[in-house]
Amino acid sequence: MQINCSELASLADTCPEFPVGLKNGAGARMGSVIYAGLGSAGTQWYALDLAAHPRAWRRLADFPGGPREQSGCAVAGGKLYVFGGAGQIPGSGGTPDTVIHCDVHEFDPAANRWRELNTRSPRSVLGSACVSAGARVLFFGGVNKTVFETLFRDLKAAGSDAERRREIEVAYFSQRPEDYRFADDVLCYEPAANTWRSLGKLPLPAVVGAAVAVDGSQATLIHGELKPGLRSRAVNHVEVAGEILASQAAPDIVAPPGESEQEGLAGAFAGYSNGALLAAGGANFPGAWEQYGQGRTYAHQGLQKTWRDVIYALVDGRWEVAGQLPQGRAYGLSIPLDDSVLLLGGEGRGGEALRCIDRLRWDGRKAHVTPLD
């Protein structure tokens, strides 16, 4: 049986909804405790102990770096680390400036305390796939800080001039994928030494917003944005152990039911359950690849953004449609559990920030979406 978000509210003794709507947030699991916040939750930060009964979200110390979206989050050495994100700072004329942060904050769960570390990422990690790999944290992809901030600087300068704002947006969305200069190297952060370095490039698409799932020393990167409005359709396995990373192309994900092709997904959920790799939800613009193939670099112009509800499973070397989410959903958190994936929050159709929590599990034949028991 599928459970929708409103029905989950009656299951508060099982796994209560998140206290506020959470999209473009950050979070991770440490032991039996899930930590999450930021994004549409502002600076709020919460914890849920899965071993406690009854379960309840507990509000922790607020994040000190100001509201931000799409921050990376990883666990290492008993601490949580939050990397960068997009936010606002005071600007000229009393109007804030939209910026990409490159700071790093450490959260100590035992002390319920944040501290900003004396370091900055050497490039933007906004929109990166963030992977814990032993004592290291790896970042795949990322928005270019200069390109991103220039867009918002130009829009601010245009003020209320609707025609000028439209011209800026059309010019921005009409660029080629390479013009956005998404990061194509693998960035490595070592918390113990508080140091950064590049591990070089892999033959992978330069994307942002890819879903990522980790199984032992293998991370799988699923789709993401090649440019705003146009999704990658590539899936790649990456061995993340050691100094020299290696990648291998994985099979393509099949088209959703009733459609002729797979548009690719941004902000999808992903994880492993009982030996199967699952991918679910995400958002895209149906028809974008067709328009791009016609030479229209503003690939999603005039198209309707769609929040997807299909669940896919990679089984025996091929993807198959494995089930359906209760609703279209993207840009939430995928938290690995022992035999399933916890889907936390996200964005629903129309941009609504969701509070719902679901458990995604593969039973050997199909995927199930249920409350967390």
The residues that are catalytic are: 225
Tokens read off for 326: 């209760």
Residue 128: exposed, middle, or buried by beta-carbon count in 10 A (0-12, 13-18, 19+)?
buried
Q: Phi/psi at 141 (nearest 5 deg)?
A: 80, 180
First-to-last alpha carbon distance for the chain, in angstroms, is 14
Q: Got the DSSP string for 259-292?
A: -SS----BS-EEEEETTEEEEE--EE-TTHHHHH
The CA-atom distances, in angstroms, between 31 and each of 114, 135, 161, 183 are: 19, 16, 52, 32
Tokens read off for 106: 């450490």
Alpha-carbon distance 35 to 38, whole Å?
Answer: 11
Alpha-carbon distance 285 to 302, whole Å?
Answer: 10
Q: In sequence order, what are the residues at sequence separation of 6 or more whose Cβ sits closer than 8 angstroms to the Cβ of residue 248? A: 236, 237, 238
